């Protein structure tokens, strides 16, 4: 009887230890996995990395994707508990540096309010802190940045699924 109890306890410790390790690996992978698919003016725009933050003090969520040459696409919106669907209050923009490792800004584009822009919150996973969204936004060149530009405006269409971090400023 003691032998059976000892074997059962050993087996239980092995299972619990394996389960904790599996859960730990799953949680670690959840922080690095993301989906970001977008087109810029009809051409695939690849995101090399993506991050998202949520500030509960002002209920703002910011999703930022970094593309080639450190082009930075950002979309910001209010996180309303359990709210999904079309969002009327959001902002989007891009910043393009003068070179890949430069801190200076060559081009900056902001949401064009004269065009039909859309952003949908498809869902929140409040257990793993993930947000899923879909967007189609027209961005126009900011007048502050004069000079030779490839385009005066750009259309970004796509979707994302990313883990967010809660921060307080």
Per-residue pLDDT, 118: 96
Closest to 104 in 3D by CA, of 58, 155, 69: 69
Per-residue pLDDT band for 22 (boundaries 50, 70, 90) equals: very low
Q: Could you report the per-residue pLDDT of 44-82, keeping only the tens digit for each?
A: 999 999 999 999 998 899 999 999 878 999 999 998 766
Q: How many Å separate Cα 100 from the centre of its chain? A: 21
Pick the more confident residue, 160 or 22. Answer: 160
Q: Single out the residue of 121, 130, 124 nearest to residue 27, CA to CA.
A: 130
* DSSP 3-state of 127: coil
pLDDT 10s digits, 31-42: 457 899 999 999
Written as six digits, the tokens of 114 are 């004269």
- The arithmetic mean of pLDDT across residues 78-95, rounded, is 86
The residue ranges of every structural domain in the chain are: 1-32, 34-166
CA–CA distance, 154 with 139 (Å, rounded to integer): 5
């Amino acid at each position: 009887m003691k032998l059976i109890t000892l074997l059962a306890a050993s087996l239980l410790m092995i299972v619990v230890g394996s389960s904790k390790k599996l859960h730990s690996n799953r949680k670690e992978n959840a922080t690095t996995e993301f989906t970001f698919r977008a087109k810029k003016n009809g051409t695939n725009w690849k995101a090399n990395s993506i991050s998202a933050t949520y500030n509960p003090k002002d209920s703002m969520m910011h999703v930022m994707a970094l593309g080639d040459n450190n082009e930075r696409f950002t979309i910001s919106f209010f996180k309303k508990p359990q709210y999904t669907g079309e969002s009327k209050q959001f902002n989007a923009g891009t910043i393009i540096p003068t070179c890949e490792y430069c801190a200076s800004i060559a081009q900056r584009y902001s949401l064009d309010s004269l065009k039909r822009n859309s952003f949908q919150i498809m869902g929140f996973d409040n257990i793993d802190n993930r947000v899923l969204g879909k967007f189609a936004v027209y961005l126009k060149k900011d007048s502050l940045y004069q000079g030779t530009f490839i385009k005066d405006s750009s259309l970004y269409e796509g979707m994302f699924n990313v883990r967010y971090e809660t921060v307080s400023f």
